[in-house]
Amino acid sequence: MSEIMLFNKPFHVLTQFTDSEGRATLSDYIKRKGVYAAGRLDFDSEGLLILTDNGQLQHQLANPQFKLEKTYWAQVEGDIDEAGLKRLREGVKLKDGMTRPAKARKIPAPRIWPRTPPIRERKNQPTCWIELKISEGKNRQVRRMTAAVGFPTLRLIRAAIGHWSLEQLQPGEYRTEQVELPTAARRSGSGQPASAKRRPPRRKAHGRQR
The Cα–Cα gap between 95 and 112 comes to: 33
CB 60 within 8 A of CB 116: no
Indicate the SS3 state at residue 75.
Answer: strand
Among 19, 42, 79, 81, the one annotated catalytic: 42
CB 33 within 8 A of CB 7: no
Active site residue 28: no
Beta bridge partners of 84: none
Instruction: Taking the CA atoms of 93, 95, 100 and 101 in sequence, report the sign of the dihedral they define.
Output: negative
The Cα–Cα gap between 57 and 195 comes to: 9
Beta bridge partners of 52: 4, 36
Q: What does the longest C-alpha to C-alpha distance in the chain come to?
A: 55
Indicate the SS3 state at residue 9.
Answer: strand
Say if residue 41 is exposed, middle or buried (CB neighbours under 10 Å; 0-12, 13-18, 19+). buried
The Cα–Cα gap between 58 and 4 comes to: 9
For residue 115, the number of C-alpha atoms closer than 13 Å in the C-beta half-sphere is 19
Residues forming the active site: 42
